[in-house]
Amino acid sequence: MIRSGGEILGRILSELAKMCKPGISTGEVDDMAERLIKEAGGKPSFKGFQSRSSDHPFPCTICASLNEQLVHGFARHDVVLKDGDIFSIDIGMEYPCSGKRKGFFTDTAVTVAIGSVPEKTKALLRVTREALEIGIKAAKAGNAVSDIGRAIEEYVSAQGKYGIVRDLVGHGVGHAVHEDPRIPNYYDKNLEQWILRPGMVIAIEPMISLGGYKVKTATDGWAIEMSDKSLCAHFEHTIIINKHGSTVSTRRPDEKGEKFW
């Protein structure tokens, strides 16, 4: 079910990314996301989500984060994409959804350049996307969770001066939207004891900026943005650990040929 749901979600995210052009509102992308998920027999896993019972439910199907916003941005019909923006779409789905039976969760994200962007912005997107692939290669049975973060950190640090966000991390996924273990994008010695085993399902999601690594919560209480207002990018896949490597359940059908910048 995680393989099937991930394949569907990958196709949906691909369609959403193709929508992202100047003049399109983030609310329109969100409306399409909800429609496609429901038509596929799934349920948006972010809409109505609460980390704690005291939190306000998240109001959107996607996390729609623009420019210096990293994650958890609201989709709005009065926020219109314009030339030079970069737009991150983070989407999750519970699948299948039939009757009272609970489905399984997958999670994936991309960052898209809107129109023409500077070369340094294109490089940010390339480095973040490649960091995800580097992390996926390290996600194999017998390795530790710390090996994923080490691989991502070493790669990004070798590419130039980028901020690797530390306060937000990847996570286990499958039975719930977020599960243990936490999957940082930097080396954490404490995670050497978390050994990857066949059957584990994790979400790897590099979050990289053109400035520092510190983040803050926006005034709406949800969006997380870079403290220094620098541009940031976010790519994510849901990964199934196998006996010999891993399977990316949320691969998009035309991923190798995609151009996000």
Q: Where residue 80 sits, what CATH number does that domain have?
A: 3.90.230.10
Q: 35, 181, 12: which is closest to 89 by C-alpha?
A: 12
What does pLDDT average to in each consecutive run of 10 residues of the chain (261 residues)?
97 98 98 98 95 85 98 97 98 90 95 98 98 98 98 98 98 97 98 98 98 95 95 98 95 93 92
In a domain, 228, yes or no: yes
Per the CB < 8 A criterion, the answer to whether 153 and 164 are in contact is: yes
In a domain, 97, yes or no: yes
Three-state DSSP class for residue 210: coil
In a domain, 260, yes or no: no
Domain span at 114: 2-251
pTM for this structure?
0.97
In a domain, 92, yes or no: yes
Helix axes of 2-19 and 26-39: crossing angle, nearest 10 degrees = 150
How high is the pLDDT of residue 58?
A: 94
How high is the pLDDT of residue 53?
A: 78
Please give the full DSSP string across 44-105, using - where no structure is assigned. Answer: ESSTT--SSTTSPPP--SEEEEETTEEE-PPP-TT-B--TT-EEEEEEEEEE--BTTB--EE
In a domain, 256, yes or no: no
Q: How many domains does the chain have?
A: 1
In a domain, 258, yes or no: no
Cα-based distances in Å from 52 to 55, 57, 220: 5, 9, 17
Helix axes of 119-138 and 145-158: crossing angle, nearest 10 degrees = 150
